[in-house]
Amino acid sequence: MRRPFLLCFLTLAISAVPTLQAQTTEMVQISPPTIRRAEPPAPNASVAELEKRGDELRAEKNFLDALDYYRAALAKQPGQAVIYNKAGITELMMQRYKEAGKDFSHAIHFDHSYANAVNNLGVIDYEAKKYGKAIQQYEKALHLQPDTASFYSNMGAAYFGKKEFEQASEAYSKALELDPDILERNSHNGVSAQLPSPDDRARYDYIVAKLCAVRGESDRALQHLHRAMEEGYKGIGEVYKDPGFAELRKDSRFTELMAARPLGIPE
C-alpha cells in the first residue's frame, strides 16, 4: 500500500467492488462470499497440528477454514489464550468485529497478562470510532508489556481519530524511538490499527516527516513531506519555521521539493 501505516491493517475488501461498463453505465459487482476450500480438520490431529494448519490457512486468506482449525484446536484443549487471539484476528480480518471481540476477551480471560489481546480489543474500539476507549486499551497493553512500538503506533492513530494531534505525535515519536521501521511496514505484534479519515492523512504525513527529520532520517522525512504536499496539507508553510525541520532545510533536496510545488499545494 502507499501508506505503510495503514498496516493497521487488517480490513478485508469483501464488500462491493465498483466496475465500469461502457462509458455511460456504472455497475457494482459483488464479490463472491467467502467459501471453505481446505479439507476439514482431521479428528486425530493434535492441537499443535491444528493450530499450525490454521496459521497456514490464515496466511493464505482462507479465513473460514482457518477458523475451523482454530475452533477444532480449542475443542480439544480449551483455554488456549494464544489460539483465541489468533481466532480473533481472523474474525477481525473478516470484519466480524463482535465475534473478534469475544475471542480477544476469551484470550484475556485465560491469560490476564496477554498484552497483544488487550491491544487487539483496542482495535475493535478503534474500528467503532470509540477512540477514547481504544486509547485506554492501548494503555493497559503498555502496562502489561511496556515499550512495545506497535501499541504506541496504534495509540497514535487513536489520538489522530480524536484530532488530538500533539498527543498523536508523541505516541508516534515513541513508536519510532522503539522501532524506526514501525511506520514503514506492518506490525507483527498483534493487530495494528489503520489511520483514520483521509482528511487527516496529509497532516499525518507532515507529522511523520517532522519526526523523521528530527531523527535525522532525511530520506523518509522528504518522502512523507512530499506526500503531505501532494495531499494538500494547508499548513505546509510551517515547514520554513518549524525547528523540527531545521536540519532538513539545509538539504538541497528540501529546496528542490518546495520549489516543485507538487499538485495539491496552492501558490
Task: Decide if 179 is inside a domain.
Answer: no
Question: Quick check: 75 pLDDT over 90?
Answer: yes
Longest Cα–Cα distance in the chain:
70
Q: Are residues 125 and 203 in the same domain?
A: no
Task: Decide if 68 is inside a domain.
Answer: yes
- Residue 87, domain CATH: 1.25.40.10
pLDDT per position as a tens digit, 23-63: 444 655 555 556 678 889 999 999 999 999 999 999 999 99
Q: Are residues 31 and 104 in the same domain?
A: yes
Give the per-residue pLDDT at 202.
87
Report for 22-36, 149-163, 176-190: range of highest mean pLDDT: 149-163
Sign of the dihedral through C-alpha 77, 79, 81, 83: positive
Give the per-residue pLDDT at 47.
97
pTM of this structure: 0.78
* More reliable by pLDDT, 50 or 18: 50
The domain boundary residue, chosen from 145, 172, 187:
145
Identify the bridge partners of residue 18 per DSSP, sorted by sequence position: 28
Give the per-residue pLDDT at 17.
34
Grouping H, G, I as helix, E, B as strand and the rest as coil, residue 96 is: coil
What confidence category does residue 186 fall into, taking pLDDT thresholds of 50, 70 and 90? very low
For 23, the grid coordinates are: 462509458
Which range has the worst mean pLDDT, 11-25, 37-51, 84-98, 195-209? 11-25
Residues 94/75, Cβ–Cβ less than 8 Å: no
> Percentages helix, strand, coil for the chain, rounded to the nearest 5?
60, 5, 35
Q: Are residues 137 and 208 in the same domain?
A: no
- Containing structural domain, residue 204: 198-260
The domain boundary residue, chosen from 121, 145, 169:
145
Give me the number of domains the chain comprises. Answer: 2
* More reliable by pLDDT, 97 or 3: 97
CA atoms in the 13 A half-sphere facing the CB of 150: 25
For 45, the grid coordinates are: 490431529
Q: Which residue has the cell 483465541?
A: 84
Task: Decide if 215 is inside a domain.
Answer: yes
Give the per-residue pLDDT at 38.
80
Q: Are residues 117 and 33 in the same domain?
A: yes
Phi and psi (nearest 5°) for 129? 65, 25
Task: Please give the torsion angle defined by the CA atoms of residues 73, 78, 82 and 86, in that order, rounded to the nearest 10 degrees.
Answer: 50
For 145, the grid coordinates are: 508489556
Residues in the chain: 267
Give the per-residue pLDDT at 234.
87
In angstroms, the CA 102 to CA 40 distance is 24
Phi and psi (nearest 5°) for 241? -125, -10
Residues 193/134, Cβ–Cβ less than 8 Å: yes
* More reliable by pLDDT, 9 or 76: 76
Residues 206/233, Cβ–Cβ less than 8 Å: yes
Task: Decide if 155 is inside a domain.
Answer: no
- What is the DSSP code (8-state) at residue 243? G
Which range has the worst mean pLDDT, 96-100, 160-164, 187-191? 187-191
Percent of the chain scoring above 70 in pLDDT: 79
